Amino acid sequence: MTRSEGLDLNNLDETTTEEVDDALIHVWSWRGPLYEMYATSLQLDYAPDFGKISRWASDIFGRPAGERAVVLQSCQNIHSYMMLGWETGIRNEFETLRRNGMSKEQVLELVMFSQLYAGMRGLGHVYHAVGDFLPMFGPPPQEALFPEGWAPDPDAFKAGLDLSTRELTPSDADGITEWYEKTIGYLPNSIAFGLKRNPKFLKLNRARWERTLKTVPKQLAPYLMLRHHTITQSVEGLKESALLGKAWGLTPDLTVRAVTNTAMYFTGFEGLYAAYEALDPILENWD
């Protein structure tokens, strides 16, 4: 018998009261926000076969695939919930990441990275979700587990900007161009546009991007970017994200995982259209 969190996944056509109770007890065991309990009960009470298959599919990306899988999924979810303004989800991911080894300071690095996309609205949602109890947010009970080779590297983000002035200097422009060409192989049109049309913005926004992820693995930057651009269906964004991930040690499997996890929870199969166009050629020639 194959059981996952109390559910017999070998029998989709029958779900006992005991299975439902065991599943809900499991979800409540870490005393987090109640949304997972009521979402789970809604599925198991009214569409138990769908709920079981959903649990089966969820096992690929989170529990019980392992702590690394949970951490990767929750890091992406912080970004998505800030974009969506789902404050219950934000609070849940703060607690999930703390429970799995990330300090509040590390989670807030993800928040600041995501703020580059979610703006002040995103920060407002984070404050409403967790701001009142962040001063009391306890230390993690363990160290977070990440894929092999993932590590902090704040210098990897830096293009040598001269922050003694807000103006884009010729050296700044050369440094930014060289960073992209060296790291992903070309200068994205988005950066070329910024350099040409609003260089001061380009410099200062790049400076913000460089100073977000300091104590968490640098690989989380492309991993979160893959989530964002799968949802927005940006072919060029996905291409840039994948090439940055490749340069910084993401594997093809982790790249696909970042995209398909997003499709499972946020876009459905339609989210894979842009991924096919942007990523399939890169994945075919990864080595």
pLDDT tens for each residue of 203-212: 999 999 999 9
- For residues 208 and 222, state if they share a domain: no
Asked if residue 142 is part of any domain, the answer here is no
Total structural domains within the chain: 4
Closest Cα partner for 238 from 205, 204, 263, 203?
263
- Asked if the model's pLDDT at residue 79 lies above 90, the reply is yes
Asked if residue 283 is part of any domain, the answer here is yes
Token pair 């940006």 is found at: 234
Asked if residue 42 is part of any domain, the answer here is yes
**Most confident stretch, 13-22, 37-46, 133-142, 252-261:** 252-261
- For residues 223 and 274, state if they share a domain: yes
Asked if residue 146 is part of any domain, the answer here is no
> Residue 5 corresponds to which tokens in the numbers above?
């969190």
Residue range(s) defining the domain that contains residue 50: 3-60
- For residues 80 and 45, state if they share a domain: no
Task: Give the range among 20-29, 88-97, 183-192, 254-263 with minimum mean pLDDT.
Answer: 20-29
- For residues 184 and 201, state if they share a domain: yes
Asked if residue 141 is part of any domain, the answer here is no
Asked if residue 269 is part of any domain, the answer here is yes
**Average pLDDT in the chain:** 93
- For residues 237 and 267, state if they share a domain: yes
Asked if residue 122 is part of any domain, the answer here is yes
**pLDDT number for residue 58:** 78
- For residues 232 and 279, state if they share a domain: yes
- For residues 129 and 72, state if they share a domain: yes
Q: What average pLDDT score do residues 58-81 get?
A: 85
Point out the domain boundary residue: 164, 182, 212. 212
Enumerate residues 6+ apart whose C-beta is below 8 A from 213.
109, 110, 113, 152, 154, 157, 220, 221
Q: What average pLDDT score do residues 78-95 get?
A: 96
* φ, ψ for residue 6, nearest 5 deg: 95, -10
Share of the chain above pLDDT 90, in %: 77
User: Is the CB of residue 27 less than 8 Å from the CB of residue 58?
Assistant: no
Q: What average pLDDT score do residues 168-182 get?
A: 98
